[in-house]
Amino acid sequence: MRLGPVSTVAALTLLLSSLPSLVPPAGAAAPGPTGVRAAAAEPRPLHRYFDNRAVSRPDRPDAADFDGAGNSLSASELTAAGWAPGSRLLLDATPLTWPDRAPGEADNVRADGQLVTVTGRGPAVTLLLAATSPYGPAAPVTASGRVHYQDGSSTRYTVTAHDWRTGPAATSALSLPRHHAPDGVKAGRARLYVVTVPVDPTRTVRALALPADPGPDADVHVFAVGLRASAADWTGTWAASTGGYNKVGPWRDRTLRLVVRTSVGGKELRLRLANTFAERAVRLGRVSVAVRSEGADTTADPVPVAFGGRDRPTLPAGTTAVSDPVRLPVPADGDLLVSVHLPGDVQAAPVHGRAIQRSYATGDNTGDLTASRGGAQWRPELTTWPFLTGVDVREDTGTVVTIGDSLTDGVGSTEDNNRRWPNVLARRLLARPHADVPVYGVSNQGVSANRVTSDRYPGEGVSSSNAGVSLVHRFERDVLAQPNVRTVVVFAGINDVRWGAGSGEVVGGLREVARRARAHGVRVLVATVAPCGGYPDCTADVDRRRREVNTELRSERGDFDAVLDFDAVLRDPAAPERLLPAYNSGDHLHPGDAGLRAVAESVDLRLLVPR
């Protein structure tokens, strides 16, 4: 058994032909016991199976042999990342624990069908994995296991794995700059991955049979297994995808005050902060939240926010932190101010690069002002959203996620006015034009310059790019791991064809994410690609491939639950390769406020409701 670390994206391609029986369409009756009867063997905790030593100290690199060739993970690099023995890690909305083992002790199991204790209900099971080969980089391989339910049934799953040192950075849970060889520290990357297996949320999971041995040339190593927590009573009211890991400041002992626009309201909220793409942990100071009055001023004293009872959270590299619930009347379609104190030096941060919203910060060495109601010390200098990735309210209506590129991100709309098309869509839902359409929250996961199938940001390291890993590669984090997702609206593809992708590649990527969403019981709407004639690189050949994508989407054969024809909404009938002049922001690529409003108003809200 020899294998490479499992890519989140490839792994989520999951033998999808078997999965529709696992997760019924939302609103459908729960399936009865189906599948193969569970084995009689009793499951055991994962650590009882540990048979491999993956981690060593710099002074004893020979104390572990992860891959059969004497190489291992660096304990000091893991500790710097916040992945010390016993650390709690929230990965893809699943709480996992890094093995509580000292360097040189057995800390993982080479998967070969072992039956592991996993109990409870939830939408998915997540495995923290890495894969190795003693013969050097291994080609991607697949391996299968089974999910066993309390009712005695089981269902097969399949994962795809990539090499721990040469696998894709874009889908890694953690990327470390160095690893250990038998003779000392090496500069080569070491990567760990998470794999998410959809399960039936209406049935109780009893155990997980790990993937079987894929063969003699590779091993799949499992470090942790967990059940993704159900978020049925939370709805996303705001979100932003991390697009890159950018150099900042450095920021020293200052406070950030981030402006976010809600969709739905509620009486209670929670925040989500993330250290996506980092290779080092970051220590934050106090965090607070308040309703905005104007500028950086609040309507009342900001409310302190704790994370697991701690008022100064530390974010391990690659992970998310979800706050404890906060009692606060959250206005629908209103502004919140989320304040984060940074007590030490922060030289790089995970950011959403195009906020289309001016946020605030204090100067260096001004200390903790998270409790401040306002004042002259706040400067409107931030045009990004660092660290903050989500705000949820305690409601069970559910979330609609919009995902795409700059046209969804809001480029072309008026700054500070919240005229992105997802904002307009949220206001339409609040107006309740259809009694049978719930007031869903809307989470905008648009990333400017993003592509469907290729990465602009590589997925590791400090970079000036904040255009993100591909939509395919970020789909698990930005859609499937969001709280209580009912429907996803995908509007993307223009950047792919502008930068040379063929129409088949784009449509194939859209179909892949649709299959994955349906495996998780999420409804999928896809939009046709808008024209960009007149933009410098929107040539006739680009438009030809764009029209090929749209022709294929309009004639699609059941891959999507509905097709939204945004191209027909935005194009000029007299020159269909161009935006309608009234909708053009001025650059011929991005619609302005009127065009984005037309996009949102063209959506039949009843299509958002799972059947």
Structure tokens given for 550: 């749209």
- Give the whole-angstrom CA distance, residue 314 versus residue 321: 8
Q: Can you say how many angstroms the Cα of residue 333 is from the centroid of all Cα atoms in its chain?
A: 24
Vertex 426: Cα angle to 424 and 429 (nearest 5): 115
Q: Can you say how many angstroms the Cα of residue 120 is from the centroid of all Cα atoms in its chain?
A: 23
The per-residue pLDDT for range 488-521, each reduced to its tens digit, is 999 999 999 999 999 999 999 999 999 999 999 9
Strand, helix or coil for residue 247: strand
Structure tokens given for 30: 């729960």
Please, are residues 90 and 322 in contact by the beta-carbon 8 Å criterion? yes
Output the pTM of the full model: 0.92
Mean pLDDT of 290-311: 97
Residue 140 has pLDDT above 60, yes or no: yes
Please, are residues 590 and 533 in contact by the beta-carbon 8 Å criterion? no
Please, are residues 335 and 260 in contact by the beta-carbon 8 Å criterion? yes
- Give the whole-angstrom CA distance, residue 296 versus residue 340: 13
Domain locations along the chain: 8-227, 242-389, 397-608
Q: Which of 521, 433, 430, 457 is nearest to 232 (CA)?
A: 521
138: which residues sit within 8 A by CB, 6+ positions away? Answer: 2, 3, 4, 131, 132, 163, 217, 218
Mean pLDDT of 45-65: 97
For residue 601, what is the enclosing H or E element?
Answer: helix 593-601
Structure tokens given for 497: 């064809």
The per-residue pLDDT for range 329-371, each reduced to its tens digit, is 999 999 999 999 999 999 999 999 999 999 999 999 999 999 9
- Region of 588 please: left (phi>0), alpha (psi -120 to 50) or beta: left
Q: 232 vs 87, 235, 346, 403, CA distance in Å?
A: 26, 8, 35, 21
Residue 36 has pLDDT above 50, yes or no: no
259: which residues sit within 8 A by CB, 6+ positions away? Answer: 292, 335, 336, 337, 357, 358, 359, 360
For residue 221, what is the enclosing H or E element?
Answer: strand 219-227
Please, are residues 76 and 280 in contact by the beta-carbon 8 Å criterion? no
Question: What's the topology of domain 397-608?
Answer: Rossmann fold (3.40.50)
The torsion angles phi and psi of 376, rounded to 5 degrees, stand at -75, -10
pLDDT score recorded for residue 217: 85
Q: Percentage of the chain with pLDDT > 90?
A: 87
Q: Can you say how many angstroms the Cα of residue 21 is from the centroid of all Cα atoms in its chain?
A: 25
Vertex 380: Cα angle to 376 and 384 (nearest 5): 145
Structure tokens given for 301: 């004293």
Please, are residues 174 and 317 in contact by the beta-carbon 8 Å criterion? yes
475: which residues sit within 8 A by CB, 6+ positions away? Answer: 9, 12, 403, 513, 516, 517
Residue 4 has pLDDT above 70, yes or no: no
- Give the whole-angstrom CA distance, residue 447 versus residue 319: 20
Please, are residues 584 and 593 in contact by the beta-carbon 8 Å criterion? no
The per-residue pLDDT for range 398-431, each reduced to its tens digit, is 999 999 999 999 999 999 999 999 999 999 999 9
Q: Which of 594, 261, 240, 609 is nearest to 426 (CA)?
A: 261
- Give the whole-angstrom CA distance, residue 428 versus residue 446: 19
Residue 394 has pLDDT above 80, yes or no: yes
Q: Which of 7, 352, 46, 345 is nearest to 224 (CA)?
A: 46
- The model's confidence at residue 133, banded by pLDDT at 50, 70 and 90, is confident
- Give the whole-angstrom CA distance, residue 325 versus residue 334: 19
Task: Specify the range with the lowest mean pLDDT, choosing from 32-46, 180-194, 224-238, 551-565.
Answer: 32-46
The per-residue pLDDT for range 542-588, each reduced to its tens digit, is 999 999 999 999 997 789 999 999 999 999 999 999 999 999 999 99
- Give the whole-angstrom CA distance, residue 427 versus residue 431: 6
Please, are residues 186 and 196 in contact by the beta-carbon 8 Å criterion? no
Average predicted confidence (pLDDT) for the chain: 92
Please, are residues 285 and 343 in contact by the beta-carbon 8 Å criterion? yes
pLDDT score recorded for residue 320: 98
Please, are residues 459 and 169 in contact by the beta-carbon 8 Å criterion? yes
